[in-house]
Amino acid sequence: MSEYRGYFGKSLEFLKQFNVIVGDDVDINAEINYQGTIMPRYEHTDDKHIALKLKNGYNIGIEIKTIKDIKKISIQEKVKEDMVAPSFEEGLPKILLLSTGGTIASKIDYRTGAVTPIISAQELHSSVPELSKIANIETEVLFAEYSENIVPEHWIQIAKRISTINQSDYDGVIIAHGTDTMHYTSAFLSFALNGFSIPIVLVGSQRSSDRASSDAALNLIGATRLIVEKKPNGVYIVMHENENDNTIACHLGTRVRKNHTSKRGAFQTIGDKPAFVISENEITSNNKEILNNQFEPKINLEKKIALVKYYPGFDTEILEKIIEMNFQGIIFEGTGLGHIGKTMYESIKKASQKQMFLGMTSQCIDGRVSMTVYESGRDLLNLGIIPLKNMLPEVALVKAMWAKANSKDLEGMKEIMLKNFAHELTE
């Protein structure tokens, strides 16, 4: 039953004893007093605790044997929230907000305790009324997926939708996206829509929009301000610069990684400063605007590209299996300046003979591949591995998928991989 979801055994009997259910606001007298909302529990937990959401938004578990009394404050009824339609003001810039899911498009349902997708992009917009003072926002849901469920077919769906508004009256596009794989999506859009006429900005949040510590509103406002005030061509990721609410960072879509699991300032530009930093009063540019290329949409890819992270003791059977499965390329995430163990050399030779693209990146967070310094690096060059300078491993993977689909042969793919389209290669 949803009234007791996740509770069984002793904890279930305990809730029934005090006549409280999931969603009730309660005052708990235990070793210390707590006030909050009874939350559901995971099915595979013990029966000795109840879960409580405190007023500050955090969840805690309380052992039932420590609880002396529970008083119901109120019954939290599940009601449909009134959604205020966003206003439109003549003369303001026009922005398309596309929702794809993720934490930024989620909220806590306090009746069930679950994090659930917001039904529409309009609801996301209406939750941040400040946006209507900056721009006229049109909203659309493409799909609702947590970012770990985003696959290359989703990248293509996003790119195709955006390509339809080139040379339109929109001033920019905002994509609400989950954070875990957002930098893969931004990389693909940077290549597939290279030279697009208006800014494309991906925005996410580390905390759902209804939490007191949520970063969703400020990130959305920052993304909107970037489009309206700077109008930069290219693809960007906009997130908090750090834990406080003073600054928002705007990262180039090919130079960014998520470097922390939960901090609001999880995203960082690798090897440089963010392209723009937004504060309350101004937007500072670091002179990293996208290369001025002509827009020629190439919205296709080859999924059979592998990203292989080398480690001591790497089992070469993994590499052999990739070759056997007719993958079209391998991006190696090598050590240091771009090295992998000599036990892999025979498999690499086989892959090279099959005309597979072989590219080298580094496991190091910063710096660039240089394979002529040591003998082992020169050996790998002779085996056909292409050093990819300071391209990030994830970006190299996505670019290789795109390059394979847009080249006629191996030499053509190599040429694309070594050409700088969107600052994926920097000096």
163-170 long-range Cβ contacts below 8 angstroms, 24+ apart:
163/193, 163/196, 163/297, 163/299, 165/96, 165/198, 166/196, 166/197, 166/198, 166/295, 166/297, 167/197, 169/94, 170/94, 170/95, 170/96, 170/198
The reply to whether 65 belongs to the active site is no
DSSP per-residue string spanning 105-156: GEEE-TTT--EEE-S-HHHHHHT-GGGGGT-EEEEEE-----GGG--HHHHH
pLDDT by residue for the chain (427 residues), tens only, comes to: 568 888 989 999 999 999 999 888 999 999 889 999 898 886 667 889 999 988 776 788 999 999 999 999 865 444 444 555 666 788 999 999 999 986 665 555 544 445 555 545 566 666 677 888 999 999 898 998 888 999 999 999 999 999 999 989 999 999 999 999 999 999 999 999 999 999 999 999 886 655 545 778 899 999 999 999 999 999 999 999 988 888 999 999 999 999 999 888 899 999 999 999 999 889 999 876 667 778 999 999 999 999 999 999 999 999 999 999 999 999 999 999 999 999 999 999 999 999 999 999 999 999 999 999 999 999 999 999 999 999 999 999 999 999 999 999 999 999 999 999 999 999 8
- Residue 86: the pLDDT is 65
**d(C-alpha 73, C-alpha 75), whole Å:** 7
- Residue 224: the pLDDT is 96
In order of 34, 36, 145, the CA distances from 3 in angstroms are 21, 16, 27
In order of 54, 104, 174, 194, 237, the CA distances from 297 in angstroms are 49, 28, 18, 7, 20
- Residue 3: the pLDDT is 83
The answer to whether 125 and 96 are in contact (CB under 8 A) is no
Structure tokens at 306: 């592998």
Stated as kind and residue range, the H or E segment containing 319 is helix 316-324
- Residue 247: the pLDDT is 95
Superfamily of domain 94-285: L-asparaginase, N-terminal domain (3.40.50.1170)
What would be the CATH architecture of the domain defined by 2-75? Roll (2.30)
**d(C-alpha 131, C-alpha 89), whole Å:** 11
- Write the DSSP symbol of residue 91: T
Give the closest residue to 16 by CA, choosing from 37, 30, 1, 33: 1
CA 235 to chain centre: 14
The reply to whether 258 belongs to the active site is yes
Backbone angles phi, psi at 122, to 5 degrees: -65, -40
Give the closest residue to 256 by CA, choosing from 366, 331, 368: 366
Single out the catalytic residue among 24, 25, 180, 215. Answer: 180
Read off the pTM.
Answer: 0.82
The answer to whether 226 and 250 are in contact (CB under 8 A) is yes
Give the closest residue to 159 by CA, choosing from 185, 125, 131: 185
**For tokens 């899911």, what's the residue?**
101
- Residue 76: the pLDDT is 46
Domain 305-417 sits in CATH at: 3.40.50.40
**d(C-alpha 64, C-alpha 11), whole Å:** 7
Longest dimension (CA), the chain: 75
Task: For CATH 2.30.30.520, list the domain ranges present in the chain.
Answer: 2-75
The reply to whether 185 belongs to the active site is no
Task: For CATH 3.40.50.40, list the domain ranges present in the chain.
Answer: 305-417
Single out the catalytic residue among 37, 100, 179, 361. Answer: 179
Single out the catalytic residue among 37, 100, 103, 224. Answer: 103
Task: For CATH 3.40.50.1170, list the domain ranges present in the chain.
Answer: 94-285
The reply to whether 37 belongs to the active site is no
**d(C-alpha 218, C-alpha 240), whole Å:** 8
